[in-house]
């Protein structure tokens, strides 16, 4: 058998109990097509050593394809893939030394939990006693020591997921790829496992790439999030930055809730004016380089509801609307109001504030400094 | 009177009773067409021409019987082995093929299956005979003739072709259930392609191999038409001997004893194979 590139038996054993140096991943203009369908359209991305990076996007956006390219399961037509500076485009998957956790676990049904976890160690010709110790240590880490002799079919979904995680990290890979690993679990278990994955990432030190279509999950786990859409990466940034300063309308709408106001715009000095539903809106931002249509993206907490006519206007924007929905959320109340041009606005206010009834006319109020001015790709 | 009793039963027990009732017609047919003749055969083997085990003593005291019995098992073994070797890659191709190719592959298995075994055997006679297609081709290419008809090789070839569907279908149904992502998982964990096959795919497909092999082996043991038409005197199988005893010599006692010995030997073989077929790991109840 050919030696596996990164962890020979000696290095793997030495590394396991301690922290693993995370691998750096460089993806440079990778392109992948299926016939006329472009799955990846020149995707470029740099993942830092030890980082927790999430790939977020709707299904078919290219996030899983990118993961498969990194793992070596899918070939790409052009572009370069590097791990720790080394080109690995021609390295077969079994020599990439990457831990992969699959969406449906992909545990070997004819092997016990301990045998499943020992599998990568056996491929690396690690001796029986050492293997035993390593399996024991990783089982302890995922709190499954009591189930070592069970078969996968005898475990719950959450337990199977933890075995898959243990199997992917037992050989101390510098890079872990997780493909929607929590997708099949119920909400409560998912949240518990999210925290466990975060803890394991912190303790292990290797780089994690986590594919998900659940933005909340991505926000909980990640250092940075790459937002995928139609085979491209729209933006790579921290969760907070994606929420507060999205670069595209897609990112703004995909992350969190939003209200999008559209209308003819003109720039005046440092400001932009937008005509929306018969009202003139001032935006304390200007995008002189931007041509075409513009829109304003507002977050629910930017907006305030007031009784009609109770605000003078002045330095704040006021738009008339009618309340359509009122949802009590404990600490806050979420309102949905329809503008005269049909736009639906979402506002969130503290539950302790004034209350409004469904069907009532209201004024939507926000300051000119709120919101993000974005290109409108055309509604 | 039975009314209160039924109400006392748990839903589980009631389901079982109902399921059993549904098997009654099938059981009745089996009893009539299988069990009754079998009982008659066993009875005649120990009563004709006079009561006792004389027919069995004759069977084991006649060397040709033992030779033919051994040959029957040998041919069944080779047929089974060849079926596994031919069917395994074919069934694998079926399980991974796209929709259209899969349909074509299934048709290639089923269409010959719909043609009667006798017709197919005559087709093999035409192909295998000394002046047949195979030998003509060999001659035209400058090779010497080989003897295929009336040999064990010829019998084996014909039987493999006719029994192949019984191996491919169980294999295919097991292989379709194997998650191919397991192979990707094995690769990502450091297994070379060959290792991932032998350590993951092969063990998971074994139940299909054993199921198909059992069916083919049992059918091969009792095969009659094909060995009769393709074989010669030196390749007679037990079924042919039984037919001679019963139909030509009208010796029901001898024929019955031979049938019982073949049946007992088959059961013996199954008993040995049964532990191999049992899955050692549970397969259901993944999400609990």
Whether residue A12 has pLDDT greater than 50 = no
Whether residue B38 has pLDDT greater than 80 = yes
Q: Which residue among B187, B190, B203 places its CB closest to the CB of A110?
A: B203
Closest CA to B185 of A24, A98, A49, A256: A98
Residue of B nearest to A1 (CA): B192
Q: What is the pLDDT of residue A3?
A: 42
Residue with the bigger pLDDT between B194 and B278: it is B194
Where exactly are the structural domains of chain B?
Answer: 64-179+210-277
Residue with the bigger pLDDT between B234 and A298: it is A298
Question: What is the Cα gyration radius of chain B?
Answer: 24
User: Quick check: B204 and A92 CB within 8 A?
Assistant: no
Where exactly are the structural domains of chain A?
Answer: 9-251, 257-375
Largest CA distance in chain B: 85
Minimal Cα–Cα distance from A189 to chain B, Å? Answer: 13
Per CATH, the number for B64-179+210-277 is: 1.10.3720.10
Beta strands in B134-193 (DSSP E): none
Q: Which of A205-214, A216-225, A351-360 has the lowest mean pLDDT?
A: A351-360
Minimal Cα–Cα distance from B168 to chain A, Å? Answer: 23
What does the DSSP assignment read for A188-254?
Answer: HHHHHHHHHHHHHHHHH--EEEEEES-HHHHHHH-SEEEEEETTEEEEEE-HHHHHHS-SSHHHHHH
Residue A18's pLDDT band (cuts 50, 70, 90): low
Q: Is B89 on the interface with A (CB under 8 A)?
A: no
Minimal Cα–Cα distance from B9 to chain A, Å? Answer: 30
Residue of B nearest to A71 (CA): B188
Q: Which residues contact B276 (CB under 8 A, 6 or more apart)?
A: B210
Q: What is the pLDDT of residue A314?
A: 67
Residue of A nearest to B192 (CA): A94
Chain B, residues 190-219, CB within 8 A of chain A, namely 190-193, 195-196, 199-200, 203-204
User: Quick check: B189 and A98 CB within 8 A?
Assistant: no
Q: What is the pLDDT of residue B288?
A: 32
Residue B221's pLDDT band (cuts 50, 70, 90): very high
Residue of A nearest to B195 (CA): A123
Q: Which residue among B181, B191, B287 places its CB closest to the CB of A123?
A: B191
Q: What residues are paired with A372 via a beta bridge?
A: A297
Average pLDDT over residues A119-146: 94
Mutation target vs A (from B184, B190, B191, B280; most A CBs, 10 A cutoff): B190
Give A37-46 pLDDT, tens digit per residue: 999 999 999 9
Give A71-119 pLDDT, tens digit per residue: 999 999 999 999 999 999 999 999 999 999 998 899 999 999 999 999 9
Residue B216's pLDDT band (cuts 50, 70, 90): very high
Residue with the bigger pLDDT between B286 and A313: it is A313
Q: Which residues contact B45 (CB under 8 A, 6 or more apart)?
A: B55, B56, B252, B253, B255, B256, B257, B259, B260
Q: Which fold has domain A9-251?
A: Rossmann fold (3.40.50)
Q: What is the pLDDT of residue B146?
A: 85
Q: What is the pLDDT of residue A313?
A: 60
Residue A291's pLDDT band (cuts 50, 70, 90): low
Whether residue A4 has pLDDT greater than 50 = no
Residue A288's pLDDT band (cuts 50, 70, 90): low
Q: Which residue among B189, B281, B282 places its CB closest to the CB of A120?
A: B189
Q: For residues A38 and A226, what is the distance between their CA atoms, to the nearest angstrom?
A: 19
Joined tokens for residue A212: 């998900």
Minimal Cα–Cα distance from B283 to chain A, Å? Answer: 6
Residue of A nearest to B284 (CA): A153
Q: For residues B87 and A103, what is the distance between their CA atoms, to the nearest angstrom?
A: 32
Residue B284's pLDDT band (cuts 50, 70, 90): low
Closest CA to A99 of A170, A4, A18: A170
Average pLDDT over residues A11-20: 53
Q: Which residue among A92, A102, A151 places its CB closest to the CB of B281?
A: A151
Residue with the bigger pLDDT between A373 and A267: it is A373
DSSP letter for A289, please.
Answer: T
Q: Is A185 on the interface with B (CB under 8 A)?
A: no
Q: Which of B104-118, B136-150, B170-184 reaches the highest mean pLDDT? A: B170-184
User: Given 3.40.50.1820, 2.130.10.10, 2.40.160.20, 2.40.50.100, which CATH number is that of A257-375?
Assistant: 2.40.50.100
User: Quick check: A156 and B288 CB within 8 A?
Assistant: yes
Beta strands in A35-136 (DSSP E): 37-47, 52-56, 78-83, 86-87, 98-101
Q: Which residue among B189, B193, B286 places its CB closest to the CB of A167?
A: B189
Average pLDDT over residues A353-358: 86
Average pLDDT over residues B111-133: 87
Q: What is the pLDDT of residue B25?
A: 94
User: Quick check: A119 and B184 CB within 8 A?
Assistant: no
Q: For residues A218 and A178, what is the distance between their CA atoms, to the nearest angstrom?
A: 12
Give A244-276 pLDDT, tens digit per residue: 999 999 999 999 999 999 888 888 778 888 888
On chain A, the residues whose CB falls within 8 A of the CB of B284 are: 153
Q: Is B174 on the interface with A (CB under 8 A)?
A: no
Q: For residues A295 and A250, what is the distance between their CA atoms, to the nearest angstrom?
A: 12
What does the DSSP assignment read for B183-226?
Answer: HHHHHHTT--HHHHIIIIIHHHHHHHHHHHHHHHHHHHHT--HH
On chain B, the residues whose CB falls within 8 A of the CB of A153 are: 281-286
Q: What is the pLDDT of residue A15?
A: 44
Residue B271's pLDDT band (cuts 50, 70, 90): confident
User: Do B109 and B169 touch, CB atoms closer than 8 A?
Assistant: yes
């Amino acid at each position: 058998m050919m030696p596996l590139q990164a962890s020979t038996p000696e290095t793997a054993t030495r590394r396991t109990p301690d922290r693993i140096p995370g691998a750096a991943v460089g993806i440079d203009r990778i392109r992948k097509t299926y016939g006329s369908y472009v799955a990846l359209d020149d995707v470029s991305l740099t993942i830092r050593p030890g980082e927790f990076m999430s790939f977020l996007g709707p299904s078919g956006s290219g996030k899983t394809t990118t993961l498969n390219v990194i793992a070596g399961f899918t070939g790409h037509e052009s572009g370069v893939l590097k791990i720790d500076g080394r080109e690995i485009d021609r390295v077969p998957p079994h020599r990439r030394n990457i831990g992969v956790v699959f969406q449906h676990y992909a545990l070997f049904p004819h092997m016990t939990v301990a045998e499943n976890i020992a599998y990568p160690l056996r491929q690396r010709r690690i001796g029986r006693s050492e293997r035993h110790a390593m399996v024991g240590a990783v089982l302890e880490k995922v709190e499954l020591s009591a189930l070592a002799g069970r078969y996968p079919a005898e475990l719950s979904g959450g337990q199977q997921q933890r075995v898959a995680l243990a199997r992917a990290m037992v050989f101390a890979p510098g890079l872990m790829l997780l493909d929607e690993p929590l997708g099949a679990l119920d909400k409560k278990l998912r949240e518990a496992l999210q925290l466990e994955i975060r803890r394991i990432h912190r303790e292990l030190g290797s780089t994690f790439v986590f594919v998900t279509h659940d933005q909340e999950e991505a926000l909980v786990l990640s250092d940075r999030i790459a937002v995928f859409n139609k085979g491209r990466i729209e933006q790579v940034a921290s969760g907070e930055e994606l929420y507060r300063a999205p670069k595209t309308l897609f990112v703004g709408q995909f992350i969190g809730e939003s209200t999008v106001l559209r209308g003819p715009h003109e720039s005046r000095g440092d400001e932009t004016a937008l005509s929306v539903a018969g009202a003139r809106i001032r935006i304390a931002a200007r995008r002189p380089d931007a041509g075409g249509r513009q829109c304003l993206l507002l977050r629910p907490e930017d907006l305030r509801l007031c009784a009609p006519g109770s605000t003078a206007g002045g330095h704040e924007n006021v738009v008339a609307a009618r309340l359509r929905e009122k949802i009590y959320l404990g600490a806050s109340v979420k309102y949905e109001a329809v503008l005269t041009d049909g736009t639906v606005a979402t506002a969130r206010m503290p539950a302790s504030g004034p209350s409004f009834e469904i069907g009532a006319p209201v004024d939507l109020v926000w300051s000119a400094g709120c919101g993000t001015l974005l290109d409108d790709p055309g509604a | 009177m039975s009314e209160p009793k039924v109400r006392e039963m748990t839903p589980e027990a009631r389901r079982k009773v109902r399921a059993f009732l549904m098997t009654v017609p099938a059981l009745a047919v089996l009893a009539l067409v299988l069990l009754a003749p079998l009982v008659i055969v066993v009875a005649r083997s120990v009563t004709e021409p006079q009561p006792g085990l004389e027919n069995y003593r004759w069977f084991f005291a006649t060397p040709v019987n033992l030779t033919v019995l051994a040959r029957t098992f040998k041919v069944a073994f080779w047929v089974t082995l060849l079926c596994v070797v031919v069917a395994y890659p074919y069934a694998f191709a079926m399980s991974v093929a796209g929709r259209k190719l899969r349909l074509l592959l299934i048709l290639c298995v089923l269409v010959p299956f719909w043609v009667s075994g006798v017709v197919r055997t005559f087709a093999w006679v035409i192909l295998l005979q000394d002046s047949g297609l195979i030998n003509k081709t060999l001659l035209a290419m400058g090779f010497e003739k080989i003897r295929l008809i009336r040999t064990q090789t010829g019998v084996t070839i014909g039987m493999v072709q006719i029994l192949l569907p019984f191996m491919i279908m169980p294999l295919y149904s097991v292989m379709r259930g194997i998650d191919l992502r397991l192979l990707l998982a094995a690769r990502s964990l450091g297994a070379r392609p060959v290792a991932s096959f032998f350590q993951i795919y092969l063990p998971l497909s074994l139940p299909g191999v054993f199921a198909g092999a059992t069916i083919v082996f049992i059918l091969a043991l009792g095969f009659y038409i094909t060995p009769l038409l393709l074989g010669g005197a030196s390749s007679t199988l037990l079924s042919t001997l039984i037919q001679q005893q019963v139909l030509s010599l009208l010796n029901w006692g001898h024929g019955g004893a031979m049938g019982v010995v073949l049946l007992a030997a088959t059961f013996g073989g199954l008993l040995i194979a049964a532990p191999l077929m049992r899955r050692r790991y549970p397969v259901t109840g993944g999400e609990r």
